Structure 1
Amino acid sequence: MKFLYGVLAFHVMVISWFILFLGDLGFTSSSLLSTVFAIGTYFALQYLGDRKKLATNQLTRKDYQYIMKNIKEATEKKKRLNKALFSVRSVHALKEIGQLNRSVSRVLKVVKKEPARFYEADHFFFYQLDSVVQLTEKYTFLASHSLKDEESRKALHETEDLIRKLTFAVEKELASILSNDFEDLSAEREIAEHSIHLQGSVKPEKVKQHD
Structure 2
Amino acid sequence: MNPIAALIIRSFVAVPVTLITWLICYFPLDFTFFGSTLFAILGGVLTHVILASFQSVSYIKKHQLTRKEYRYIKKNLKEAKLKIKRLNKSIFKIRDIYSVKQRIDINRITKKIHKMTSKEPRRFYKAEEFYFSHLDSLVELTEKYSFLSSQPKQNREMGQSLIETRRTLNELSKVIEEDLYRVISDDIETLNFEIDVAKHTIQKKKDMKFPEENRWLK
- Bin for the TM-score computed over the shorter chain: 0.7 to 0.9
Work out whether 1:12 is the aligned partner of 2:25.
no
3-state SS of 1:202 partner: helix
Counterparts of 1:12 and 1:61 in 2: how far apart (Å)?
A: 29
Name the CA distance, whole Å, in 2 between partners of 1:18 and 1:164: 65
User: Which letter does structure 2 place at the counterpart of 1:114?
Assistant: E
Unmatched 5+ residue regions in structure 1? 205-211
Q: How does 1:1-211 map to 2 (within 5 A)?
A: 1=3, 2-8=6-12, 9-23=14-28, 24-203=30-209
Query: Greater shift after overlay, 72-81 or 14-23?
Result: 14-23
CA distance in 2, matches of 1:136, 1:12: 51
Q: Which moved more, 1:166-175 or 1:195-204?
A: 195-204
> Structure 1 87/18 Cα, relative in aligned 2: closer, same or farther at 3 Å?
farther
What are the superposed Cα offsets for residues 130-168 of structure 1, whole Å, 9 maximum, x if unpaired?
101111101000011133321111111111111111111
In structure 1, C-alpha distance between the alignment counterparts of 2:172 and 2:16, rounded to whole Å: 48
Which letter maps to 1:17? Answer: W
Q: Which amino acid aligns with 1:203?
A: K
Change (3 A) 1:95 1:22: farther
Distance 2:20 2:139 in 1: 48
Are the counterparts in 1 of residues 10 and 52 from structure 2 also a CA contact under 8 Å?
no
Change (3 A) 1:95 1:11: farther
- Scaled by the length of structure 1, the TM-score of the pair is 0.88
On the 8 A contact 2:134/2:176 being kept in 1, the answer is yes
Normalised to the residue count of structure 2, the TM-score between the two structures is: 0.85
Letter in 2 for 1:7: S
* 1:85 partner amino acid: I
User: How many residues are aligned here?
Assistant: 204
> Following TM superposition, by how much is the alpha carbon of 1:11 offset from its aligned partner in structure 2, in angstroms?
4.2
How much is the aligned-residue C-alpha RMSD, in angstroms?
1.9
- The SS at the match of 1:58 is coil
CA distance in 2: counterparts of 1:113 and 1:36, whole angstroms = 32
Structure 2, unmatched stretches of 5+, are: 211-218
Query: What SS does the corresponding residue of 2:209 show, helix, strand or coil?
Result: coil
Task: Encode CA deviations 1:65-105: one digit per residue, 9 max, x unaligned.
Answer: 01100011001111111211231222333432221111111
Contact 1:139 1:156 in 2 (8 A): yes
Deviation at 1:6, TM superposition (A): 4.7
Deviations 1:174-206 (A, max 9, x none): 1012111100111011112211222232239xx
Moved more, 9-18 or 113-122: 9-18
Equivalent residue number for residue 208 of structure 1 = none
Q: Which amino acid aligns with 1:4?
A: I
